[in-house]
Amino acid sequence: MHKILVIKFGGTSVGSAEAMQQVVSQIQIARQKWSQLVVVISAVSGVTDLLLSGARLASLGDEEGAYKVAHELDAKHRRIICELLQSTKEKQFVESRLDTHIQEFRSLCHAIYVLGEASPRALDAVSSLGERISVHILAARLRETHCDARSVLSSTLIRTDSYFQAANPDMDMTRELSRTHLLPMLEQQIVPIVTGFIGSTESGAITTLGRGGSDYSAGILAVALEASELWICTDVDGVMTTDPRIASNAKTLGTIAHNEIVELASAGAQVVHPKAIGVVMNHNIDLWIRNTFNPEGSATQVLPVIDVSTTQKRRAKAVTAVRSQSLIMLEGRGMLGVQGIAARTFDAAARVSANVTLIAQTSSEQSILFAVPSIVASKVVLELEREFYREFEWNDIEAVKVQDNVVIVTVIGSGLFATSEFVGRLFTALGEKNVDVLSISQGTTGGSISVVVSKADTENSVRAIHELIVGMA
């Protein structure tokens, strides 16, 4: 059986004609070493947001605004086609596909305008269009360079449930569909260019796997095809110790464990979707994070969970920051010993689709503190006031307090809390920079420590922790 490589390229990797040409070069290099290659790509950078903005305008009754978005989408892709493709035949073919999908977008926006709302199912149909356009452009350019490439809709490969906008794959059916459709192509040396992000229900309705879902798609296909390696190609040199725009001495990690990169991704680092890690971690697939624009540069290999039984393996790896957060505190003496307060609190947050990014609770149970993105903080407060209106009347709960403009700074590393030396040095380093720590939280696996600081202290906090990491490496 031939070895299979799955490569995923993100939105910035296909964000322009120049970027797409770099992807073509990467694919041609990979083909020299791999006889069977599957490529998964995202929409052109910025396109998914544009598509959703058009749907939102239509739902608000602004059909003309939605049609202006359609014009912008058409121009954006047509510019790439004009700059990238050379063959008249390929240009005409891809432009006809573009015309079809832009008209589909206009029709969907009209339906949303008439209904006055955009259902999750409609939003999936709309947001899938970006990938459905980009695959045609890349496949056409590959054919021009004498690579037999074919665009493939992942909706024909990945079978999901009906949980629109965050669908879950049926791996048994996906394995059967993927092998049926893709293996014959691979045996004929055809390179499938597959849409990321997209699946479909048993009835054929298009679903999406959630934002960042192209990584997840690539992981799903790698498992379904029993691939030997999966490369996630981004615009940075693998996984870095921190954001190089904050710390100029940031370095690429040669290796990182599955559990560490999941913590890092969950803490806001834009490296790889956590679900992509989850789907491949129990299979014998080598996972690499690489830079599309620096193919000969450093890369990071993702390894199985690291054994932290020895002190040498318990060390910090990276630090990241989640910005634009708000702290919300629910407090009152009447909460002491009352069952269900925490459950009701987080149910209220879930009702307004708030992603809770950090949780802390006092041992006396007189307060619950948690963080949410600032954009939804006011909605969460209103929902909490509705949920606990009786408790407010009885003075069991005294207040809901909000602190805006905070940042969650998280340091990642296997077994951090097993190393008391590091914890002490962490807070000493922050204290020396006069950083006020507003809250602290520990990851459930002991592989991360998060501190909440004010927005003004973000860069000082990250630099202080990063210097500690570099010094202990």
* Domain boundary assignment for the chain: 4-235, 318-472
- pLDDT of amino acid 473: 62
Between 391 and 184, residue with greater pLDDT: 184
Q: Strands (DSSP E) along 113-200, which ranges?
A: 149-152, 191-195, 198-200
Tokens of 247: 């710390």
3-60: pLDDT as tens digits: 999 999 999 999 999 999 999 999 999 999 999 999 999 999 999 999 999 999 999 9
CB atoms within 10 A of CB 365: 13
Distance CA 268, CA 46 (A): 19
170-221: pLDDT as tens digits: 999 999 999 999 999 999 999 999 999 999 999 999 999 988 889 999 999 9
72-87: pLDDT as tens digits: 999 999 999 999 999 9
Phi-psi region of 415 (alpha: psi -120 to 50; beta: other; left: phi over 0): left
431: Cβ contacts below 8 Å, ≥ 6 apart = none
Q: Strands (DSSP E) along 109-170, which ranges?
A: 149-152
Domain 318-472: top CATH class:
alpha beta
Distance CA 98, CA 80 (A): 12
> CATH number of the domain at 4-235, out of 3.40.50.720, 1.10.443.10, 3.40.1160.10, 3.30.300.130?
3.40.1160.10
223-277: pLDDT as tens digits: 999 999 999 998 888 999 998 889 999 999 999 988 888 888 777 677 788 888 8
Distance CA 440, CA 410 (A): 10
Q: What is the pTM (predicted TM-score) of this model?
A: 0.87
